[in-house]
Structure 1
């Protein structure tokens, strides 16, 4: 038996999956990661901790399963997006990595808009600027840590840095590079407009590589530290959302991914026909010559967790969801907006905050929890609506994350979106997508579509109820009015 390894580098942990040729996950190991918050709005990690914990997770996989090093043919990566790892001329980090959820760069975002112009920015990169993207982080370092910037010779994103340390070969993979605001996404090249606009030399931006391409083999040192052999084929990998879609079988237009974790994502693939207007992210997919539209809700499952932790801490999430299921659709006219940490799509507003609208003396815990679940769903439905306005057809959605653990919430999603919602039989997230890239990249399958048929195993399908869909649509129309009414009250 031979295997591949998929490494998922998240924010709180790095998780490695051992997967056989049948697509079965034989074992998984997770190693925790620490996050530093040295000031308000700052979020950083030590890049070398990623490397050490990745090595430890791979080594633990081999020890727990007892397989031989020679049985692992390939490994690949999924990684958190946007994080800035600044490197000196020797390829060593100059400072902690600034993460995707760091919000210190609002002024730098405005500088980018003024310098390039909103329309020109979308033309150059197919995206608008947000605090989480990589380029604003570079400008922040230029302005606030000039001595660090003066020593910077290049940069990498999180998973690309780990791969570099394992192979000694420095590249940046396309689906991740798409989130830097330096890439011409459709052209698959570094944008000269952005480089020249901010004095970033061509040599500062690493060579680009496709998700399925080989980045080399392990160094002797990495082989010893992981327990693998030096000949392991190391495949480039993909950004976490791209790998999450791949691992859920979402590779073709007409399909969609609905991910409700701490944040929420609605993602649909595209063959390149779309004309981005900045309302949604538009990135390269981990499947070659494909792209995807993506809308993001910043506080999705996080909103439900907030309610549990601060209002109803004496009950479990499962108990609260059961209460919500006893309340009718529309929560008896109670609405909730999940803007607890600002909102991404479609408002791109870091200052807006959440609200309950329509609280009534009759409302119970169940009403409040149902309103929160519906509000999260409506927030993602706003992205769904934009995607449909762009001319896309969404025939079905695959739901993953916390939102897929409840049959009640899955049915709510089907009713609210008005299309079938499917769950996976065995959800493994972005790590499985990374394993699929390893399997395809090393030659197990002729195409990713063939790989998908073997690796992705679907479970139950939830079909929409027309009567319930009508109730949700009426409630959704009321929900959409809230932002304009509450925006004047947001914090300055």
Structure 2
């Protein structure tokens, strides 16, 4: 039996899966690492922590593997998007990585928009300038840490750094490059125009490759440390959302994905590069060859729920927490939650907005708050579904992955808020499975990624919306949308009081 490995470098942990030729996950390992949050709006990580935990996870995986290590033919990577890793001429890390959920770069986003122009920026990058993207982070370092910027020889994104350390080869692939705000998405080249206008040296942009390209093999040193064969073929991989789409079979027109991890996304496959969403949702290169995807983002999806648990229910398991919420009626007895704890992306692109519980009274207990958090996250994701439908996209079924796909109550909430069938897969590994599928395709096991998906992915359960519940949620969603408008100015006034 032959195998491939999928490495998913997330925000809170690296998850590694070993997958056989039938698409079965035969082993899996997860290793945590910390966030560094020095002040409100800041979010960083030490890239060495990613490497250390990835190596530890691979070593643990191989320690328990009773087959021939040379039967593990390939490895590929999924990774958190946008994070800035700055390297010097020796490819040593210059500072902590600034992550996707860091919101310190509002001024830099304004500079980008004013210098390039909103329409020109959308024409080149397909996306507006938002705090999460990589380019604003580069400009922030240039402005606030000039002594570091002077040493920059190149930059990479999180998974690309880990892959470099495992192979000694440095590249960036298109699905992650599309999230930097420096890539000409249609032409698949770094934008010389943007670099010139913003005085960013073009030569700090790394070489570009396709997601499915073989980019090297495991280095001899890393083979010794991890137990992998030095013959193990390494494939570039993709951004977490691109890999999540691959791992859920979102590989043809009409396919839509809901992914709830730390952040949350609604993602739709696109075969064209010329659709105009007016910057309301993101438009990126897919990990599948010659394709794209459009995507709306909730910045704090699963993060909102984990924040609530850590703050108010530390000794309760997630399973028990969500099970209690199942006994609460739709609307949580008049309690609504907006998941803006780190700002919001789609559709508001507002780094200053913060979360709210609206409608609290003395009848509410913890389970009502949990249900409200689950519903609020789903309402936020429905903002993106709403935009897609307004643009003529027909959405009748949605594949749900991530933490939100582990609980049947939440999946039913999704079906009724989205007013669509929600599909739960038999083996839901999300981005890690997508990375493994890239490796399987790269190793020649299948003629295409779609062919791989047909072999690897199976439907476990379908959740169908109940019409009367859909009507209730449509009324609640309208009220939910009013909360942003009502609290926007209040949150602006509170900014000066945040530490």
Equivalent residues in 2 for 1:298-309, closer than 5 Å: 298-309=299-310
Measured after TM superposition, the shift of residue 204 of structure 1 is: 1.6
- 1:97-142 per-residue CA deviation (whole Å, 9 max, x = no partner) reads 2222222222212211221122221112100111121111111111
Farther off after superposition, 73-82 or 92-101 = 92-101
- 1:306-339 per-residue CA deviation (whole Å, 9 max, x = no partner) reads 4444456675544443443333323344322222
Measured after TM superposition, the shift of residue 461 of structure 1 is: 0.3
Farther off after superposition, 437-446 or 63-72 = 63-72
Conserved in 2, the CA contact under 8 Å of 1:134 and 1:179? Answer: yes
- 1:419-453 per-residue CA deviation (whole Å, 9 max, x = no partner) reads 10011112112111110000001111011011001
Farther off after superposition, 330-339 or 370-379 = 330-339
Equivalent residues in 2 for 1:69-468, closer than 5 Å: 69-272=69-272, 273-311=274-312, 316-360=317-361, 362-468=363-469
Conserved in 2, the CA contact under 8 Å of 1:255 and 1:395? Answer: no
- 1:314 and 1:33 mapped to 2: Cα distance? 21
Q: In structure 2, the residue corresponding to 1:480 is in which secondary structure?
A: helix
- 2:178 and 2:131 mapped to 1: Cα distance? 15
Farther off after superposition, 322-331 or 10-19 = 322-331
Conserved in 1, the CA contact under 8 Å of 2:101 and 2:299? Answer: no
Farther off after superposition, 306-315 or 228-237 = 306-315
Conserved in 2, the CA contact under 8 Å of 1:250 and 1:269? Answer: yes
Tell me how many residue pairs correspond in the alignment.
492
Conserved in 2, the CA contact under 8 Å of 1:283 and 1:291? Answer: yes
Conserved in 2, the CA contact under 8 Å of 1:62 and 1:68? Answer: no
- 1:322 and 1:61 mapped to 2: Cα distance? 32
Conserved in 2, the CA contact under 8 Å of 1:343 and 1:350? Answer: yes
Conserved in 1, the CA contact under 8 Å of 2:124 and 2:186? Answer: no
- 2:427 and 2:383 mapped to 1: Cα distance? 28
Equivalent residues in 2 for 1:9-20, closer than 5 Å: 9-20=9-20
Measured after TM superposition, the shift of residue 38 of structure 1 is: 4.1
Conserved in 1, the CA contact under 8 Å of 2:172 and 2:208? Answer: yes
Q: 1:302 to 1:34 in 2, by over 3 A?
A: closer
Q: In structure 2, the residue corresponding to 1:216 is in which secondary structure?
A: strand
Measured after TM superposition, the shift of residue 285 of structure 1 is: 1.1
Measured after TM superposition, the shift of residue 472 of structure 1 is: 1.0
Measured after TM superposition, the shift of residue 58 of structure 1 is: 1.8
Could you tell me the TM-score, scaled by structure 2's length? 0.93
Q: 1:92 to 1:360 in 2, by over 3 A?
A: closer
- 1:420 and 1:489 mapped to 2: Cα distance? 37
Conserved in 2, the CA contact under 8 Å of 1:124 and 1:193? Answer: no
Q: Is structure 2 residue 486 aligned with structure 1 residue 485?
A: yes
Farther off after superposition, 315-324 or 470-479 = 315-324
Conserved in 1, the CA contact under 8 Å of 2:6 and 2:75? Answer: yes
Conserved in 2, the CA contact under 8 Å of 1:333 and 1:475? Answer: no
- 1:435 and 1:54 mapped to 2: Cα distance? 15
Unmatched runs of 5 consecutive residues or more in structure 1: none
Could you tell me the TM-score, scaled by structure 1's length? 0.95
- 1:4 and 1:119 mapped to 2: Cα distance? 43
Q: CA RMSD in A?
A: 2.0
- 1:71-103 per-residue CA deviation (whole Å, 9 max, x = no partner) reads 111111111111111122222222222222222
- 1:369 and 1:52 mapped to 2: Cα distance? 35
Measured after TM superposition, the shift of residue 249 of structure 1 is: 1.6
- 1:216 and 1:313 mapped to 2: Cα distance? 44
Residue aligning to 1:472: 473
Q: In structure 1, the residue corresponding to 2:64 is in which secondary structure?
A: helix
Farther off after superposition, 443-452 or 112-121 = 112-121
Q: 1:305 to 1:13 in 2, by over 3 A?
A: closer
- 1:346 and 1:204 mapped to 2: Cα distance? 32
Conserved in 1, the CA contact under 8 Å of 2:426 and 2:459? Answer: yes
Q: 1:376 to 1:46 in 2, by over 3 A?
A: closer
Q: 1:412 to 1:38 in 2, by over 3 A?
A: closer
